[in-house]
Amino acid sequence: MYLRYCNIEMYAQNEVDETHWSEAERKQVRRLETRQELFESKPSLWREPFIVPEHVLNSRDFVHSSFDNDIKGYLLDQLGDCAVTVGEECCPVLLRDWFRDFRLKPEMYLRDMHVNRVKKGFRLFTTPSEFPDWLNQYCTEIDHATDRPILDFQFLYWGAAGSKTPFHRDVMGTFSWSHNLCGMKRWNFFLDTKAILECTQGPGETVFVPSQCFHTVVNLSDDTISINQNWLNQFNIHKVAEQLVADTVKVREDLVEYGMEESQELVEQVESIVWANNSLNLENLLKVIDFATDIRGGRSIVDEGRRNILLALDTIHDVYRHDTLTTRIRSRLA
């Protein structure tokens, strides 16, 4: 029964495709040309895609610097004997063998490599301070010895010209950022307003993807290597809660259909399966919110952020009760 739930499609109820934008107006993605623009805390900053040039967000501040402009050689030297999965079929192969035999084949795109945990003691990058990620901070600063762990959402992509990520939205309503270490990418973002925003991303540039925004990505050059991270904070916490609740409801309905009765065992089984689907569940999410509101003491949480957090708590409460955490969080936001 467990395997049945490993690939639940969380967005099935909202299926659309690129034909919905067949007559859409095309515009360029906004470029942030100063650090002041990037450090704005206004909620509007996180509502549409933007691209950041290297002089504004420099990789030296968050990417390991020892590869000396030879990122391919560095990755092969450090991770060549590590197993990766490539292509649509997620074929397992050693990175060294993939590089030798498959790296110039677009259909053998290396995607979603958990580069910071594929080898013990190796970290390629840290989270840029410009992207205030509650999830990553919680994972690194809290002792999770008694918790079901939250796995990182930090990845490496490496592909040939023509390799692509098709029309999709990012997992769980998270934000994401993507930074090119080398090569060129072409992005298309499909907005609710029936507009398409597009940009070409060069080496050293960083693209921000807002919550629940459909998009496509195509690599324009061989050996296009990028790092990216899915993340959340006060400006999309309600979106993440919404998606996790949708997954929770679906799993609960299926378990009841298969004969499980309403009980604490059902609750625990649902949370276990939701975690297996996402590396995150509603209990985890409440703990992330509790942690984030505690260390900030409300100081950096703006009015819209408070509303989003309270909406997330209400959404979660409908299907998962944790009165201790919920009461504590609400008292901080009062």
In the chain, the percentage of residues whose pLDDT exceeds 90 is 65
Least Cα distance to 137 among 311, 287, 300, 322 occurs for 287
Whole-number Å distance between alpha carbons of 282 and 68: 42
Residue 298's pLDDT band, with cuts at 50, 70 and 90, is low
pLDDT at position 6:
34
157: tokens are 């992509």
- Cα(154)–Cα(24) distance, rounded to whole angstroms? 32
Query: Model confidence at 14, in pLDDT bands (50, 70, 90)?
Result: low
The mean pLDDT value of the chain amounts to 88
Beta-strand pair 206-209/175-182: antiparallel
Alpha carbon distance 293, 240 (integer Å): 16
C-alpha–C-alpha distance, residues 89 and 213, integer Å? 25
Is residue 13 predicted with pLDDT exceeding 70? no
Other beta carbons within 10 angstroms of residue 105's beta carbon come to: 15
Give the pLDDT score at 247.
93
Average pLDDT over residues 137-141: 79
What is the average pLDDT across 239-258?
93
Segment 94-106, tens digit of pLDDT: 999 999 999 999 9
Asked if the model's pLDDT at residue 5 lies above 70, the reply is: no
How does 284-294 read in b/e, with b if 16+ C-beta sit within 10 Å? Answer: bbbbbbbbbbe
Residue 146 pLDDT class (50, 70, 90 cuts): low
Please state, as a whole number, how many other Cβ atoms lie within 10 Å of the Cβ of residue 6.
Answer: 9
Instruction: Give the residue-averaged pLDDT of 116-141.
Output: 88
- pLDDT value at position 12? 43
The pTM score is 0.90
In order of their start, the domains of the chain are 12-231 (2.60.120.650), 235-333 (no CATH)
